Amino acid sequence: MKFKLIMAFVDEDKTETVMDASRAAGATGATIIKNARGQGLSKTLGIFGFEILDPRDVVLILAENRRADVVLDSVLAAAKLDESLGTGIALTIDVERAVGLSEHVKKLAAEHPPENG
């Protein structure tokens, strides 16, 4: 079974919404990295000239290849990523090999049999 890694960089308050949407689209779960910080097109300076970096969560979703686009589209809609600057981004990366997933693969195969078999 082939997989893609979906990486979503979203505001902390959108993480649960993203998780709910990705599960509804066929993802079985995710790993969440808290308190990542990033910079946009320009720096935001606060009091005393210190840069303000809004905390983000990195949501790592391993999705079956044939479901990855649906999951990514659900993340896009849930996090409202294309609505304005600074809402976050999401991307997919091909996974060459993944281990520790045999029980996940069995569950996915039982719940969503391949279309040609």
Count Cβ atoms within 10 A of the Cβ of residue 106 and give its class: 0-12 exposed, 13-18 middle, 19 or more buried. exposed
Whole-structure pTM value: 0.78
Tell whether 22 is covered by a domain.
yes
Confidence of residue 25 (pLDDT cuts 50, 70, 90): very high
Give the SS3 label for residue 4. Answer: strand
When the pLDDT of each residue in the chain is averaged and rounded to a whole number, the result is 84
Tell whether 116 is covered by a domain.
no
CA dihedral 20, 88, 71, 92 (to 10 degrees): -140
Query: For the chain, what is the domain count?
Result: 1
- The residue segments making up the domain with residue 82 are 3-39+50-109
State the pLDDT at residue 52: 62
Tell whether 114 is covered by a domain.
no
Q: What is the pLDDT of residues 31-78, one digit of tens each?
A: 999 988 766 666 666 777 776 667 789 999 999 898 999 999 999 999
Predicted confidence (pLDDT) at residue 102 exceeds the cutoff of 90: no
CB 15 within 8 A of CB 90: no
Q: Per DSSP, which regions of 1-117 are E strands?
A: 3-11, 31-37, 55-64, 88-95
Tell whether 44 is covered by a domain.
no
Tell whether 94 is covered by a domain.
yes
Confidence of residue 115 (pLDDT cuts 50, 70, 90): low
Spell out a b/e string for 26-62, using b for 16 or more CB atoms within 10 Å of the CB, else e.
Answer: bbbebebeeeeeeeeeeeeeeeeeeeeeeebbbbebb
The CATH number linked to 10 is 3.30.70.120
Tell whether 29 is covered by a domain.
yes
Tell whether 30 is covered by a domain.
yes
State the pLDDT at residue 40: 63
Tell whether 69 is covered by a domain.
yes
